[in-house]
Structure formats: structure tokens, C-alpha cells
Structure 1
């Protein structure tokens, strides 16, 4: 299992595959399979059985949804000079004193711009 540095809600850039160059927000991270689901990327059509809900409305037919994409095919996206560019993720440790105790917190940092994520 790879070390996953991307979290739900992050904006990512697709760097490989049929949707290369597309950006989107991470909807779900599937840690055990090393995959992420990105909004608007890797869309598939799924044929679902027609059924009825409790209120009597019919559901089903052909539904378009996002499929998972491998974590190695996405890169965190940050804004630099008005453009969205891909960046690697680093970690900076910061010591914080609270209630007389010193705690270490880990802060994710964009390697390209140096700013906190």
C-alpha cells in the first residue's frame, strides 16, 4: 500500500490516462485499493435496474457516475501566478505549546509554492 498524501476535498490534477490535464475535487479516498474518486473525472455509465422508492418515484436506467482512478495518476493542484499547477506534497512539523505541554503537529506543504495546504 502506498503512502497517500491526498485527502478528501483536495483539488487534484490528473497527470495520466484519458482525462489527463483535467482538475477536480477529491470526493473519496479508497486507501485499501490506492485509488481516489475525483469529481468530473473518469466518468462511466452504469445500467441500473428500475425500481420504486418509498414515495412511488421510479429510479434507475442509465446513470453516469465517477469511477475510481489510481492515486499515482493524480497530483495535488495549487494556484501559482493565476494558473492551476501540479505539485508534490511535503510535511512540515511545528511545535505547539498547549496547557503547559509541547505537541508536534504535522502540516502539509506544497513543494512547488512552499505554502501550507
Structure 2
């Protein structure tokens, strides 16, 4: 199945403890159906000090399920993503407005 959400997309969280928060996707994991979003689903991870890095309690973004994310359209509202043919090219479009997401 084609990926409806991609790295760099601005998304909003639909469910969970961070419901309503927005952020940008930094990584997508299609095999597990999850994505890492900047500033969302943050957990504290304990890091051991090494020669190269300072140790301590580091906040780290954890993966969130793709079903709990929706792309943000130009009006700032969540929308679903569809696919259509634009000439001979397959493009993603916002279902609410019909605008092409990536040209």
C-alpha cells in the first residue's frame, strides 16, 4: 500500500495523551505502521555518559501509530489523504479541500 504520510509532513495527533498536538514527521516506519513526530509522545530516556556525549535524562520522541495521525491542510485542520492521477503522475491530495499535497 502506498504511504499516505511521509517524512516532512506536518501532522496533528488524533488520539492518545498528546491529542491535538501538531508536529513534523521525522521518520516513518512502514513495517510497524508507526512514525516519529517532533515534540509528540516524548519519554525520558536515561543516557550513560561517554567520551563523546554528556549523560543524564534525555527527552526522546517515541513512535506513534500512523492511524492516530492526520495531515494538516492549509487551513490548519486535520484531513485525510487520497490519491489521484494528475496527468500521468500519481499525487496525494487533501480530502477536505481537494488540494494537491505534493506536486
Aligned-residue Cα RMSD (Å) equals: 1.3
Segments of structure 2 that go 5 or more residues without pairing to the other structure are none
TM-score with structure 1 setting the length: 0.81
The offset of 1:94, in angstroms, is 2.1
Q: Deviations over 1:50-70 (max 9, x none)?
A: 1112xxxx4221111100000
What does residue 111 of structure 1 align with? Answer: 95
Counting strand residues as a fraction of each chain, which structure ranks higher? 1
Q: Note if contact 1:4-1:34 (Cα within 8 Å) is conserved in structure 2.
A: no
* Alpha-carbon distance between aligned partners in 2 of 1:46 and 1:7, rounded to the nearest angstrom: 26
Moved over 3 A (4+): none
Equivalent position of 2:30 in the other structure = 31
Aligned length: 101
Task: Provide the rounded CA distance (Å) in 1 between the counterparts of 2:89 and 2:83.
Answer: 10
Larger radius of gyration: 1
**Could you say which residue in structure 2 is the equivalent of 1:87?**
79
Flag structure 1 segments of 5+ consecutive residues without an equivalent.
Answer: 96-103
Q: CA deviation at 1:72?
A: 0.6
- Structure 1: distance between partners of 2:17 and 2:54: 30
Cα offsets for 1:33-81 (capped at 9, x unmatched): 100000100001000111112xxxx42211111000001110111122x
Give the match's secondary structure for 2:67.
helix
